[in-house]
Amino acid sequence: MGLRQVGELLETSLYMSETTEKRIALVTGAGRGIGKSIAELLASKGHHVICISRSESSCGAVADAINAGGGSAESRALDVADKAAVKEACEALLEKHGNIDILVNNAGITRDGLLFRMSDDDWDDVIETNLSSCFTFIKYLARPMTRKRWGRIINMASVIGLTGNAGQANYAAAKAGMIGLTKSLAKEFAARNVTVNAVAPGFIATDMTAELNEKQQEAIVGIIPMKRMGEAKDIAATTAFLASEDAGYITGQVFTVDGGMVM
């Protein structure tokens, strides 16, 4: 074989490193913001995407737009904090698809307040929606992944889970809990070729951060070395990489995507 042929062969194998295999992906909180961007990006890579959010109007619109654009998606309205509803949905989806290959636990809420003013409901709602939902989805969807010996689980944490934040004890506890869950399950599933990673976004321009007033937003941008909030597509890109074949040897990690805020 001549040098030129070796070069051509190397080039071909480089471009073949990303599989074209179509995977089944499930994204929670896919109706808006970061989850919507993740659903769209995974669909653009040829995967079938199951879009889940609280209201059918939001996840349904995302799935419709993906299908209209030539991709493949379906939607399911569901409260991720409702364990019985998640179990029922997971069983139905496994029956239909046989397996979910990529699970992105992205749905999340905030209910901010200083501790003495934080109600029991504010605590419970944030823990159940952000953290317990990850446990429930993984519990029902990971077993078939381990049997298939291929799976990607990505949990949407937050830099707040790494640093803490006054007024967000519930949210910080939920996100830190997601990181502990990620690392533990990475160890449990590694030998079965199922990776479990977390993404920790900094401040990203979505409906969630639009709740902050102008003064709060200015203060936040002031502490970001890149001097701007991130975009949903920044988080989608990291998530899609972790869901890819190329990320197959990465597990138990937390990827901070925050314009340099937490180093």
Residue 79 binds to ligand NAP (criterion: CB under 6 A): yes
Residue with tokens 């990181």: 179
Quote the least distance from Cβ 7 to ligand NAP, whole Å.
Answer: 43
Q: Could you give the string, one character per residue 165-204, with x where binding to ligand NAP holds by CB under 6 A and - elsewhere?
A: ------------------------------------x-xx
Structure tokens at 167: 């007024």
- In angstroms, what is the minimal distance from the CB of 43 to ligand NAP? 16
Beta-bridge mates of residue 50: 26, 74
Least distance (Å) from ligand NAP to the CB of residue 217?
A: 11
**Which among 68, 70, 28 is positioned nearest to 45, based on CA atoms?**
70
Binds ligand NAP by CB under 6 A, chosen from 24, 33, 173, 196: 33
Please identify which residue in 24, 26, 27, 34 interacts with ligand NAP, judged by CB under 6 A. 34
Which residues inside 87-146 make contact with ligand NAP, applying CB under 6 A?
Answer: 106-109, 129-130
List of residues contacting ligand NAP (CB under 6 A): 28-29, 31-35, 53-55, 58, 78-81, 106-109, 129-130, 156, 158, 201, 203-204, 206-209
